[in-house]
Structure 1
């Protein structure tokens, strides 16, 4: 299994250990409360239903291969130093827990798989305990199991978890004697940090900031109105109001994206702008959106916290139809992508963005639509995700949610079933479940109506 050749500049050394500067994403995590971004519940999870015999020794070896391949899974962020830094540690075994589940008929196993997904989302990964990857193999029998993968969000994002799944499948196949094509090189995350630091200095950075001042000066972030004031410290676990759009609606979303030379993300964001107008009024909401942050193709196979947040301000006042809203959204997105900078630079330079958060009746909010990376590596039987005979993701149905540092988050993506699945994550100390469910139901109606008849007046969807 080929691993990346180190092409980074020589690191700073102290006490015999290598130190590297932090990325803007890591600095953003450091700015949060200890119980937030660096708390043990700030995790990313994935559950896989595996058919066929799983070799535990090979699985443990494959997990260790993944840890050796991706430095961020064995990196400590040192937050009590000035300046803060990250320290890459040598590979160590990834914790793998093997459980035998009680006997259950086939129709009950799906419910148990859901329970295992919930358990994974409620688990903990202390950032001080390396490596930052945990796995649980729960076996119904020798031919049916659920594999849970959990990593800390400061070390990986949703794209990274897809890479971890792919690489684990390839390493497992190699260790069980299958003929597998080599994985593509994975550049270390510290190379990306060096590139990012160069990109945020000089004339290009000045031009980018000038664009954002023109776009956002005086504008506040869109926030959700709460049922109860936002608390400084939360005691309750996060909840999720789930959204499912069937494969036919998902195909309509993709079809509209193609015909309008947009992306599915743009279609879904345009629909959310309609909902934002209904929630808050106004015609130019500034939606804080999650972007994958992998505009540089050489880092598409690197595990790490690449995601960034871009405030997208779309003017709806001149739009008559939903198609007009989509065109305006597309123009906003393309301009923003061409001028992307780390979000904390915008928050520092444009104080109006954060002004609403001073009112505890306003809840910070982010919007994300995850479009799965196109992974080219050949895996077992040309399937880069298969472990054993067959592997499918366990689709979320429960309402328990992974913890987030604060605020509310609307995350969606296209599932392996062809459906669009997602959830509004919220804290019940701030929102009634009926409030969140109402927004999700209204958003679903907007998406269905808009993709079925995009020439309709957008206010009447």
Structure 2
């Protein structure tokens, strides 16, 4: 296929054919030749060094080349090839900073070299780094034995030629094994693509540890018999014009450079120098290694046309270290293809040419794949080929592809052994996003760097370019855009890390600089920057190929190791001076001019209380601000409590912007005073009516006094020197502060009542397990948990709170707190933990008994009748049961735990915000689709728990505030998934607008048929709650784990979701009479498949989507049956062997 099998044949053939022709020149100052090697001299000197290496080391040993660009580098690299050793190009550390030395250390650990070749001034530091485990020498210290002592090694095309270590833009260093055949194939196909031959010349300033600098800038010309002029990278950085001067002076025909180099020359090369340059011989101005911007190419061609530069010379290309180097090239007789794509379509992952007046983004095509190579565009989630108008991951196939990473089989399988669905051939996954256009590949960005903000796909290099193009205060090529999940915001935030020009280090210039950067991004991407970080020059992390390491910058920012000059955002939002309610009302009543500003300030400070990171955007809705359903409810409750403003919840989830809400607030404040039931005072009651929610649970207890389905057991795992006296004291203080924890429940002539008992000490029952073995301790813990779940809480006499402490040793403790749901809910758990950590010194402003009395006043007969009328109409005609088809063979309570990764949650959250819905609404829609598959019903009712804390005063009160909300599910029709999501959103908004009516009153309005073991109206629930920040220390010990367990009760199936920092923690609880283990596994599998692919299925009609889900289900069941059959056969064989052995 190719003329040579390995590189030794190449070098020796050139030494024989062109012995006196110059192979390499080194230009110390970037202009004048300082040293030259002919092909014959290169061959002889490389063999001499190879002999020296062979005398000390064995073939296959790794040699780290940490040399600056020089002819010594060329000698050393070629000597490794001659010696059969594996060269490992690596940059000399620019400093002794930890981040520079860590890079070297990581490669040394991975490659396990026998030798490091370095300049004399680096040797001592490197010896300290490797601690004598590796030889560190200069090239001169190897000596120069006669070339005749060299012994040809036993190598062929499969021999590893060198390791190209790459961190990429996103990951840890990995060594690409570039084999002789890969290297030969790549340089031969480059020679054909660009027409390299002995009549041309190459100028190369790229570093030789860079794949483009080494392979494209040095090895390709050596292979083609053309002279190469080497310039040190620092020389180019100091004076970019030296590159063009060398091209002009030596009549060079080719040079490789990344986009930023062309942009830099556009700015810094003077008109006087342009008049002296002759670039007419430059036939291949190859642009690659980073995103290519059309404006840069056009400006370069236009500016240097006066120098004789032919526009046809501009040659965009695409390459990868894992593909040796070159993947695609633009033909020499073709102008670059610039595509103007529809911006809105692009953000959905589609490709469409933009209309003349439509917002657009421009991309440059990167040429055609090399001969014998192919490119596929593949969906990175499903591994299916993408449609022609879809952006996908670029997959590569051909002889240039490397085959593995050094000592990294897992990464090898993931990158080099990918298969397209329906094909058995291996492809290389590039990690790049792109598409094909008329045979050329177009690169959009890195898969791992893709920004998904507000449901839109944005490419970091577009944002980076927009900033540097509009703002001269930021250094070109020294800026990183990335996103990260903020658990407080509940969404991805956009972060910019950038190095300012020297004159912009002055703090006085930062406000204008920040504003300019924000404007540039809003103009280019229609989004704001959440955090801007300015860092010292030269400190943004780079990859080995000279690209910005965006994920490296993200990690350093998180670790606090960036050299920060200044930043904007990223910390708690400033809200300015706080207004009091009386001041707001006075300003609105007395000063018409200041009223709008005062209302905006009030909403901003309220938003800040709900989300301390949130900087109010008055052009966005509440959902657009990043609030979920709990945040919206909190926002409404604060306005309700502080101002008596009772907002329509359905409107809160709508499209009305914060600015429009400010106008509505002004209008409300000018209206007559609100109802007296919009606030409450503490009355220090000791007895009174039960709340509606309490009455429901109390009634269930009367039906079955031994029932424990509403027991809540909190299991706190504590590690450290626990102060048991302090713990006991805080438990006592907790019960003293919250009367509901010492309340009993009884009937009376006035209906179900509750009575607060006098304060008594909590009986902290202690169990010393120190004398038991670890296995016995674990069994004791399981027994104790089972006992707590099975022992009813005495609602008639108390105590409502039981506390037990099990100590395994002095450092390991388990605290079990058992309560009845009648006195406790999810928010109560957070309050309890905070107070056990010592955060509360005073009693809450109101007690739960105050809430129960307020509730009775709030729900007047007229208000109840109005709400019940809504629920009768909303739920009319929908079946009140959902048959799930369980086997019933294993009755009792069961559960299945699994996790939805944070990456999936991020994508779903972005999609939800784009659709104007909360993440819960999106999860609800997908859950309905899976339930239809399992039960076959098109219509049914579903339940969810909602917070029943209507006033901000209730926020820190322990008690049972949860209400149950009934949601209508309708999967009829031909709507697409996108349309179905809108349907679910709208139905949920309608229900949430009426969520306040206690569930028992909803049930009484519909008078459903009651059945034992069946909850009225619905038997399936979906609960979602964001994680709360939990304290880490309780009474001197660290809280290492927390579990809150409760049975499913009368519900057949409950899916509880808790959103934590690492994703959704899901617990599927079910009763074996109505559901089974097999269906639980199917539900998990189908739901996960649907969540991962929701964004890609938006255009699919519901019937087709049902068929797709059914296909997933059938395949999963077949696989599960096969696995069970294999396991059964294995058990039979083991049984036979045991019987034979007897």
TM-score relative to the length of structure 1: 0.78
Q: Distance between the aligned counterparts of 2:969 and 2:920, measured in 1?
A: 14
Structure-2 residue corresponding to 1:448 = 1092
Q: Secondary structure at the match of 1:32?
A: helix
In the alignment, the residues of structure 2 paired with residue 444 and residue 147 of structure 1 have an alpha-carbon distance, to the nearest angstrom, of 34
For residues 157-172 of structure 1, the aligned pairs below 5 Å read: 157-170=825-838
Supply the distance in 2 between the matched residues of 1:109 and 1:242 (Cα, whole angstroms).
Answer: 24
Q: Matches of residues 205-354 of structure 1 in structure 2 within 5 Å?
A: 205-225=864-884, 227=886, 237-317=892-972, 320-340=975-995, 341-351=997-1007, 354=1008
CA separation in 1, counterparts of 2:740 and 2:834? 16
* Per-residue CA distance 1:329-349 (angstroms, 9 max, x = gap): 222222212212111222222
Q: Paired residue for 2:813?
A: 145
Aligned partner of 1:39 among 696, 700, 707 = 707
Matched, 1:23 2:695: no
Q: Out of 1057, 1065, 1071, which is 1:421 matched to?
A: 1065
Alpha-carbon distance, 1:304 to partner = 1.2
User: What CA distance in whole angstroms lies between the structure 1 residues aligned with 2:1053 and 2:925?
Assistant: 17
What root-mean-square deviation, in Å, do the aligned CA atoms of Structure 1 and Structure 2 show? Answer: 3.7
CA distance in 1, matches of 2:740, 2:704: 19
Kept in 1, the 8 Å contact 2:801–2:817? The answer is yes
Q: For residue 406 of structure 1, what is the aligned residue in structure 2? A: 1050
- Aligned residue in 2 for 1:3: none
**What per-residue deviation string (whole Å, max 9, x for no partner) do you get for residues 189-228 of structure 1?**
1222123223321544333222222211232324243546
Gapped regions of structure 2 (runs ≥ 5): 1-679, 1110-1142
Work out which of the residue numbers 61, 64, 68 in structure 1 matches 2:732.
64
Runs of 4+ in 1 over 6 A off after TM superposition: 103-116
Secondary structure, in 3 states, of the residue corresponding to 2:966? strand
Choose the corresponding residue for 2:755, options 84, 87, 95: 87
Shift of 1:122: 4.6
Partner of 1:176: none
Name the TM-score, length of structure 2 as normaliser.
0.34
Question: Is 2:1022 the partner of 1:368?
Answer: yes
Is the Cα–Cα contact under 8 Å of residues 237 and 403 in structure 1 kept in the other structure?
A: no
Change (3 A) 1:103 1:403: same
Distance 1:155 1:328, change over 3 A: same
Distance 2:920 2:705 in 1: 25
Q: Is the CA contact (8 Å cut-off) linking 1:364 and 1:406 kept in structure 2?
A: no
Partners of 1:363 and 1:384 in 2: CA distance: 38
Aligned-partner Cα distance in 2 for 1:147–1:29: 26
Match of 1:54 in 2: 722
Match of 1:392 in 2: 1040
Residue 128 of structure 1: aligned partner = 796
Alpha-carbon separation, structure 1, partners of 2:1100 and 2:863? 40
TM superposition shift of 1:111 = 9.2
Structure with the greater alpha carbon radius of gyration: 2
Q: 1:92 to 1:407 in 2, by over 3 A?
A: same
Relative contact order, higher structure (CA 8 A, sep 6+): 1
* Contact 1:45–1:151 (CA under 8 A) maintained in structure 2: yes
1:155-194 pair list within 5 angstroms: 155-170=823-838, 182=841, 185-194=844-853
Change (3 A) 1:127 1:10: closer
Secondary structure of 1:57 counterpart: helix
Distance 1:189 1:262 in 2: 32
**Corresponding residue pairs, total:** 423
The offset of 1:281, in angstroms, is 3.3
**Superposed displacement of residue 433, structure 1:** 3.0
Q: Deviations over 1:119-164 (max 9, x none)?
A: 6545543323533122222223222222222211111122222221
- 1:433 corresponds, among 1074, 1077, 1088, to 1077
Shift of the 333–80 alpha-carbon distance from structure 1 to 2, 3 Å rule, reads same
The answer on whether the counterparts of 1:266 and 1:330 sit within 8 Å (CA) in structure 2 is yes
What is the match of residue 765 of structure 2?
97
Task: Give the 5 Å matches for 1:103-114.
Answer: none
Q: Which shifted more, 408-417 or 49-58?
A: 408-417
* Equivalent-residue separation in structure 1 for 2:752 and 2:1010 (angstroms): 29
Gaps of 5+ in 1: 1-5, 12-17, 171-179, 376-382
Distance 1:8 1:25, change over 3 A: same
